[in-house]
Structure 1
Amino acid sequence: MNKYQAPKFKAAFLTPRYWGTLIIISIMYSLSLLPFKLQLLLGRGIGRLAMRLMKKRQVTIKRNLELCFPKMAEHERAAILKDNIDNTGIALFETAMAWFWSDKRVNKHVTIVGMEHLEALEAQGKGALMLAVHSMNLELGARAFGIKKSGMGVYRPNNNPCFDYFQYKGRSRSNRTLIDRKNVKGMLEALNTGQRVWYAPDHDYGVRRSTFAPLFAVERACTTTGTSLLVDATDCAIVPFTMVRGEDGHYTLTLSAPVDGFPKNDPEQAAVFVNKIVEKSIMACPSQYMWLHRRFKTRPEGECCLYKPRLAPAI
């Protein structure tokens, strides 16, 4: 199987060109050593500061919430927006936790529910497509899962080779292997041999291998047909995977039972089916979802852009 080749540390990473990257990694490592509650507090502050400096991102979050929940009271959307900004900052710390914490510290803060579903599939020798969404704490969830069970993550190498080295090292800890997102053959082989593959079909990946399907109140959201490609060719199970941080700060990773009724050999209906799973996963905790992504940027031919310039909301 052509897995992504692990990047090697190079002497060139010590040259001035990469000093900024090394400083960022050093800061992430240092932050991961702080007491957990302090990390959450600092994360909220960083999120609020970052959004004041990057107002366009805040506008994108607000617009996504308007598009998805037009019938929701404005004050409710505003509350999600405020919490989402906090969680955007906390995500920096959660990534550092995923990359640098010991297994013991991860286990202390994360509870896994539903592992029996995967154990049953494992006994059958059946592969599992771990269908996730881009929650802010997805990296930490994948790390916590990897401590218990091996799995393969679909991976996009970073354009910065120095950062890619540390990103790969962090993401491949605890029984995890990585595979390039373009290596479909490798994903199929993994699923056909009873392995587990993490897959997040919730973003707008452009028109290639995509169709338009409803997502919340948006009737035509550009949705990848990659899920159909993987399931139709392997007959793997689809296991929804969600990670939520509770009000007490403790995380719960939930593995749902394999879903029934996936529309085989029908990519368009399958996209509708998958988006229903995505909606349910997002609603487990809307404020911890990555709303800053322009989810609806790709439109059917002839439709206007859903993201128009607007004034940034006040925090």
Structure 2
Amino acid sequence: MDSPHFRVVFLHWRFWLLWLGLGMLWLINQLPYRVLLTIGRLLGVGMYRMASNRHCIARRNLELCFPEKSSGERKRLLKENFASTGIAFFEMAMSWWWPKSRLERLAHVEGLEHLKQAHLNGKGVILMALHFTTLEIGAALLGQKYTIDGMYREHSNLLFDFIQRRGRERHNLNSIAVERNDVRGMIKLLRTGRFIWYAPDQDYGAKQSIFVPLFGIKAATVKSTSTFARLGKALVMPFTQKRLTNGNGYCLVIHPPLTNFPSESDEIDCMRINQWIEATVRECPEQYLWAHRRFKSRPPGEVKLYEKCRHKP
């Protein structure tokens, strides 16, 4: 995709309200980091009380994935998850607008030697990540160390899409945004030794997935990770990020590349990926994006799991 450019149409009156909101967010974002964390938590409290559909989906996911926890424990986890989501709103703005030097002070990065070795060997890398609430700032912090390409879906609002892409790409000056459905483009980049951020932890439908267990539930799991690794002759390196306590920044870890991956079986690969996803999420479940209908697709004959969380007409 071409780099984002300012367009005269962004000055049209229909974008004025968005410009106002972005301006206010930019001003708030100049506050100290710990203050932004506090404001973000307060925003999360409001979202917990008002975002009924997201609240229902997240609560249902926690019921499905943590049946061993009491209802009180899941309620506390749900509240913390919304607090983390509120903080993520300001982390997004930080990654777009903070000076790089200010942002860099928050990063604690481990495992860069794995990317360096892959670069020396001329190997492409699939950075296998997850949809944590720290996704935006994690990608920005890693992008300051290495140029990372990413799968991208264009936003329906032209102005927001411009601001978002420009904010992301300032950390990756030579990065390439790959359309989510551009399989050939993804494979071509991997074969040229590029590093690409990719998250296989969401439900993209049964057609391009197979059903394997995740938290003990059959989940539609994409086979693309194996396909990209095989056709792109690339390594798969798990990548995790975590918001540290007490305003101490973020821990980013590039793990060693998976061995014997891909295997001869997509099912084995998908099970291996889901086992890693489950273990990683359990380390800090409050920071995971639980508002996604992860178990929306069901095997033939199985009941739907979100019947009580339908969108209101």
**Normalising TM by the smaller chain, what interval?**
over 0.9
Which shifted more, 115-124 or 23-32? 23-32
Q: Is the CA contact 1:191–1:197 (under 8 Å) kept in the aligned structure 2?
A: yes
- 8 Å CA contact retained: 1:127, 1:196: yes
**Shift of residue 306 of structure 1?**
0.4
Deviation at 1:207, TM superposition (A): 2.1
Counterpart residue number, 1:236: 234
Question: How much has 1:299 moved relative to structure 2?
Answer: 1.1
Unaligned runs of 5+ in 2: none
Alignment map for 1:203-282 (pairs within 5 Å): 203-218=202-217, 220-249=218-247, 250-282=249-281
Partner of 1:313: none
Moved more, 204-213 or 262-271: 262-271
1:53-92 to structure 2, matched below 5 A, reads 53-92=50-89
1:277-307 deviations in whole A, cap 9, x for unaligned? 2223222311001001111111122221101
Distance 1:302 1:20, change over 3 A: farther
Give 1:6's aligned residue: 3
Aligned mate of 1:107, from 91, 104, 108: 104
Which residue in the other structure is 2:182 paired with? 183
Aligned residues of 2:125 and 2:235 also touching (Cα < 8 A): yes
Secondary structure of 2:245's partner? Answer: coil
Matches within 5 A, 1:40-51: 40-51=37-48
* Alignment partner, residue 300 of structure 2: 301
Counterpart CA distance in 2 for 1:212 and 1:51 is: 31
SS at match of 1:153: strand
User: Hey, what's the Cα distance between the residues in 1 that align with 2:85 and 2:285?
Assistant: 12
Question: CA shift at 1:238, angstroms?
Answer: 0.9
Query: What amino acid maps onto 1:27 in structure 2?
Result: M
Partner SS, residue 256 of structure 2: coil
- Whether contact under 8 Å (2:229, 2:262) holds in the other structure is no
Q: Is the 8 A contact 1:70 1:217 kept in 2?
A: no
Given residue 231 of structure 1, which amino acid in structure 2 is its aligned partner? Answer: A
The answer for unaligned runs of 5 or more in structure 1 is 311-315
In the alignment, what sits opposite 2:166? 169
Paired residue secondary structure (1:154):
strand
Q: Is the 8 A contact 2:212 2:219 kept in 1?
A: yes
Q: Deviations over 1:126-154 (max 9, x none)?
A: 11100000000111111111111111011
Contact 2:187–2:232 under 8 Å retained in 1: yes
What's the offset of the Cα at 1:77?
2.1
Decide whether the 8 Å contact of 1:84 with 1:289 is kept in 2.
yes
Instruction: Please name the residue that 2:192 is paired with.
Output: 193
Q: In 1, distance between residues paired with 2:120 and 2:283?
A: 29
Question: 1:287 corresponds to which residue?
Answer: 286
Q: C-alpha displacement at 1:72, in angstroms? A: 2.5
| Count of aligned positions | 306
TM-superposed deviation, 1:159 = 1.0
One of 7, 14, 19 as aligned partner of 2:16 = 19
The answer as to whether partners of 1:188 and 1:234 remain within 8 angstroms in 2 is yes
Match 1:129 to one of 111, 126, 129: 126
Separation in 2, partners of 1:283, 1:256:
17
For residues 156 and 54 of structure 1, the distance between their equivalents in structure 2, rounded to whole angstroms, comes to 24
1:30 aligns with 2:30: no
Say if 2:40 and 2:83, in contact at 8 Å, map to a contact too.
Answer: yes
Q: Look up the SS of the partner of 1:298 in the other structure.
A: coil
User: Structure 1, residues 131-182: CA drift from partner, whole Å, max 9, x if none?
Assistant: 0000001111111111111110111110111111111101112223311111
Deviation at 1:265, TM superposition (A): 4.3
| Cα distance between partner residues in 1 of 2:17 and 2:131 | 26
**How far off its partner does 1:263 sit?**
4.0
Q: Is the 8 A contact 1:262 1:273 kept in 2?
A: no
Structure 1 counterpart of 2:190, one-letter code: L
Supply the distance in 1 between the matched residues of 2:3 and 2:147 (Cα, whole angstroms): 17
Determine which of 133, 140, 144 is the counterpart of 1:147. 144
**What is the CA deviation profile of residues 204-247 of structure 1, one whole-angstrom value per residue up to 9, with x for unaligned ones?**
111231111111121x1011111121011123111111111111
**Secondary structure, counterpart of 2:39 in structure 1:** helix
> Aligned partners of 2:222, 2:32: CA distance in 1, in Å?
40
In the alignment, the residues of structure 2 paired with residue 31 and residue 206 of structure 1 have an alpha-carbon distance, to the nearest angstrom, of 39
The CA distance in 2 between the partners of 1:251 and 1:66, in whole Å, is: 28
Moved over 6 A (4+): none
Give, as a single letter, the amino acid of the residue that structure 2 aligns with 1:245. Answer: R
Q: Which amino acid aligns with 2:28?
A: L
Letter in 1 for 2:220: C
User: SS of the residue aligned with 2:308?
Assistant: coil
**Partners of 1:122 and 1:90 in 2: CA distance:** 34
* Structure-2 separation of matches of 1:263 and 1:12: 46
Match of 2:156 in 1: 159
